Amino acid sequence: MGKNGYLPLFETKPAGGLVFFRSYAASIFIGICFICFHRVSYFPVTERWVWVGMFVAELWFSFYFFITVIVKWNPVFRSTFKDRLSSRFEEEELPGVDIFVCTADPRLEPPTMVVSTVLSVMAYDYPPHKLSVYLSDDGCSDLTFYALLEASRFAQLWLPFCRKLKVEPTSPEAYFQTTPEPVDDVFMANEWLIIKKSYEDMKNRIESITSLGKVPAYRRKEHNGFDEWDFVLSPHHHPSILQILIDGRDPNAIDIEGKALPTLVYLAREKRPQIHHNFKAGALNALIRVSSKVSNAPFILNVDCDMFSNNSKAIRDALCFFLDEGNGHEIAYVQYPQAFDNLTENEIYGSLRVLMKLELAGFDGNGGPCYVGTGCVHRRESLSGMKYSEELAVELKAMKYDKKIIGSASFNEEDCKALASCTYEENTPWGKEKGVKYESLVEDVLTGMSIQSKGWRSVFFNPQREAFLGMGPTTLLDTLVQHKRWGEGELQILLSKHCPFVYGRPNMPLKLQLSYCIYNLWAPNCFATLYYVFVPSFCLFRGISLFPKISSSWGIPYLYVIFVHRVHSLVEYVWLGGTVRGWLNEQRMWMFKRTTSYLFAAIDHILKLFGFSKSAFAITGKVADDDVHRRYEQEIMEFGTWSPMFTVLATLALFNLLGLIAVVTNNVAIGDARMKIFDVFGFQILLCYVLVFINLPIYQGMFFRKDSGKMPASVTLQSVAFALLASTLTIY
């Protein structure tokens, strides 16, 4: 029995195997101490700066390991009791929920994908008149508006179908791709085929008009909302467009079974070329303001346009936390993990598996997960800038959610447009103290930290059935660019007034402040990693030993730390549902990101500090041509286009290959002395072998592949020239 005599709506359990993990961490710490003692005790007389560099790099890796241990020291996992929620609250007593879906470019985020996501969240197992779905279109595309108009009609068929068959997932695209036609019930099979044909017809209409690039005149006559585009000069220069396609409070807004439909709203906020629009953060803040006048639900779910609902109970799960009589009043948001529907079996470009399934649980044990920008249910008060206090807690505990808003949402359209104007936020706290925060490329992380710094708690919840499934990058460059933005944004937070050790006091516990560093330090990680990738091979050319002899007992701590650390990483990855080859790909991407994405992130942020660069927001493409998609499914790494990141990767790969070739050639020439050389340089040679193995896809892309996804010839020539030049300078 919980507080106030009620059974709790959720429970919290610590992760299993913590004794094993803590023993492992302690043993690694002891090994690190021995390594540090060796570095200090055996300081060389010559080439001391190279030795010092290795020691500094190892100290950095040790510090970062300490941060990861803090994050994983006490992860917690939660479960909900939805049956208790249902028995405690009648349907009319449940709170309203506003759902925000954001899109920005119909070329990169196809309208068919966007509306499939919209339909999936409209079909939640929740009273439909309590749901309001808002689509923010930052591309201000009449193609997207047309697709949403089609979806509003199809919803009259789709929602009853989902209720009747208990459809999972509720995205029609995902459902019809993964679910076979029912064969046991002829009536249901006929209905299944009818709904599928209706969806395919709608999809074909949307795709045909999208391919035209404009909505034909006869289609524009179907809705007065298209008249708004007469005043649109470009996606970056237009007035606010607000259209309520379904008004859930209108008694005529019903599906084919006579049940109410959720409210459905289209919003394209005003944009002017001379006014900065703050990317996705600005779009979300416009939605917060507009929704406060249209539906004003106390809870807000936001999802990316490619992140469809995979669990129709997700809202009820979240409400088990918010409505818990004991602790619900102090919870600001419930964060679901990101998961991806299009990952290959072995996740060729890595995944967020460990981050989303374990590290966020560790954050939760340390005070609450960070906000990751999608798949998150917020309390409106916390997003509106309110600080948590005992007085507010009393108000939240006493709040009743059975209020009804009188009137029609349609009457508010013109009044609400002003709230989405590009000048509304001037001289206001929006983006600073209210709403989603600006001043960072990772507005989500900064917003979550801001909420936690005001005394609120957050909760991580990973249900058995994943709540949302999205689209991961399908090319190497998309992955690297995405992580470059994330790394730069995290470094931006660390080096600003929003540093967790300053911004988080006094309401965030120290262990949570330290937990944020696991991501804040992504970009600085590049320097130690680059040193370890380049310098040992450099010293092989010059005959400089950087590690103990293989025959020396001082080699044991190095072997132990490296081997045990990697074995633990493999076990952890497989325990979380990955494969051994997937883990190998994760290690490869770990090195690629540290030597390119985070390097360019660090350089860009340094340039910004000196005023030589400005922030830009890159949208990750959600579509790929057939050849790229085929190679992705076959797990063939995609290069294809020129990028300075590829030049760095290829140069480092070739330099390590040349170093290995030089060592092998030298060993053959010396003959009887090869064992002595291996004894002295064994650790460096093994490291070089590992780096060459990791870079095998790069060698294939440069020299052996003939398809269009191979490494561009210009990158190959540049890299060969740079690697040969570096090798020559090293030798002479």
What is the value of pTM for the model shown?
0.94
| pLDDT band, residue 670 (cuts 50/70/90) | low
Q: Which helix (H) or strand (E) holds 285?
A: helix 279-294
Task: Record the tokens describing residue 43, joined without a space.
Answer: 């300081």
What pLDDT was estimated at residue 664?
Answer: 76
Of the spans 75-84, 601-610, 674-683, which averages the highest pLDDT?
Answer: 75-84
CA 315 to chain centre: 20
Q: pLDDT at residue 173 above 80?
A: yes
Beta partners for residue 137, in sequence order = 103
The answer to whether 646 touches 595, Cβ cutoff 8 Å, is no
Provide the pLDDT for residue 400: 78
State how far the Cα of 243 lies from the Cα of 647, in Å rounded to an integer. 47
Q: Does the structure show a pLDDT above 50 at 148?
A: yes
Over residues 272-300, the mean pLDDT reads 94
Helix (H), strand (E), coil (C) string for 446-500: HHHHHHHHCCCEEEECCCCCCCEEECCCCCHHHHHHHHHHHHHHHHHHHCCCCCH
Angle at the Cα of 298 (from 297 to 304), degrees rounded to 5?
70
pLDDT at 673: 65
Contact 102, 136 (CB under 8 A): yes
Range 197-217 average pLDDT: 95
Q: In whole angstroms, how far apart are CA 583 and each of 18, 359, 564, 634?
A: 22, 17, 15, 17
Least confident of 153-162, 382-391, 670-679: 670-679
**Catalytic: which of 247, 306, 341, 444?**
444
Q: Above 70 in pLDDT, residue 1?
A: no
N-to-C CA span, the chain: 77
Q: Does residue 21 surpass a pLDDT of 90?
A: yes
Stretch 248-274: mean pLDDT: 93
Burial grade of 273 (CB within 10 A; 0-12, 13-18, 19 or more):
exposed
Active site residue 306: no
Q: Binding site annotation covers 138?
A: yes
Q: What is the DSSP string of 662-677?
A: HHHHHHHHHGGGHHHH
Confidence at residue 257, expressed as pLDDT on a 0 to 100 scale:
94
The answer for residues whose C-beta is within 8 angstroms of residue 638's C-beta and 6 or more apart is: 474, 475, 476, 477, 628, 631, 632, 709
Q: How confident is the model at residue 407 (pLDDT cuts 50, 70, 90)?
A: very low
Average pLDDT for residues 290-312, to the nearest whole number?
95
Are the CB atoms for 328 and 368 separated by under 8 Å?
no
CA distances from 131 to 63, 82, 91, 119, 299 (A): 46, 18, 12, 12, 10
Burial class (CB within 10 angstroms; exposed 0-12, middle 13-18, buried 19+) of 673 = exposed
* Rounded average pLDDT over 609-630: 70
What type of residue is 714? Answer: S
Chain-centre distance of CA 617, in angstroms? 14
Split at pLDDT 50, 70, 90, the class of 406 is very low
Domains and CATH numbers, the chain: 92-400+447-482 (3.90.550.10), 639-731 (no CATH)
**Annotated binding residue 304:** yes
444 is catalytic: yes
Residue 646 has pLDDT above 60, yes or no: yes
Q: How confident is the model at residue 43 (pLDDT cuts 50, 70, 90)?
A: confident
Judged against a pLDDT cut of 60, whether residue 46 lies above it is answered with yes
- The per-residue pLDDT for range 312-340, each reduced to its tens digit, is 999 999 999 999 999 999 999 999 999 99
Q: Is residue 617 within 8 Å of residue 444, measured between CB atoms?
A: no
Beta-carbon neighbour count of residue 635 at 10 Å? 16
Please answer whether residues 209 and 222 qualify as being in contact, where contact means their C-beta atoms are separated by less than 8 angstroms: no
* % of residues, the chain, pLDDT over 90: 80
pLDDT digits (tens, 9 = 90+) for 225-260: 999 999 998 999 999 999 999 998 889 999 999 999
Q: Which two tokens stand for residue 641?
A: 């286009």
**pLDDT above 50 (res 382):** yes
Q: Please tell me the predicted confidence (pLDDT) of residue 435.
A: 94
pLDDT band per the 50, 70, 90 thresholds, residue 408: low
Question: Which of 313, 288, 295, 286 is closest to 248 using CA atoms?
Answer: 295
Catalytic, out of 98, 138, 142, 324: 138
Supply the mean pLDDT for the chain.
92
**Residue 399 scores a pLDDT above 90:** no
Confidence of residue 436 (pLDDT cuts 50, 70, 90): very high
Region 102-125: what's the mean pLDDT? 95
Work out the pLDDT band at 439, boundaries 50, 70, 90. Answer: confident
272: left (phi over 0), alpha (psi -120 to 50) or beta: beta
280 among the known binding-site residues? yes
pLDDT at residue 623 above 80?
no
For 703-730, how does the pLDDT look when each residue is reduced to its tens digit (9 = 90+)? 999 999 999 999 999 999 999 999 888 8
Average pLDDT over residues 347-375: 95
Quick one: pLDDT at residue 85?
94
Kindly state the helix (H) or strand (E) to which residue 335 belongs, with its residue range: strand 331-335
Exposed/middle/buried for 501, CB within 10 Å: 0-12, 13-18, 19+? Answer: middle
User: What per-residue confidence (pLDDT) applies to 624?
Assistant: 61
* C-alpha angle 376-316-243 in degrees, rounded to nearest 5: 60
Q: Which residue would you say has higher pLDDT here, 542 or 25?
A: 25
d(CA 106, CA 679) in angstroms, rounded, equals: 59
Q: How confident is the model at residue 116 (pLDDT cuts 50, 70, 90)?
A: very high
Provide mean pLDDT across the span 75-97.
Answer: 94
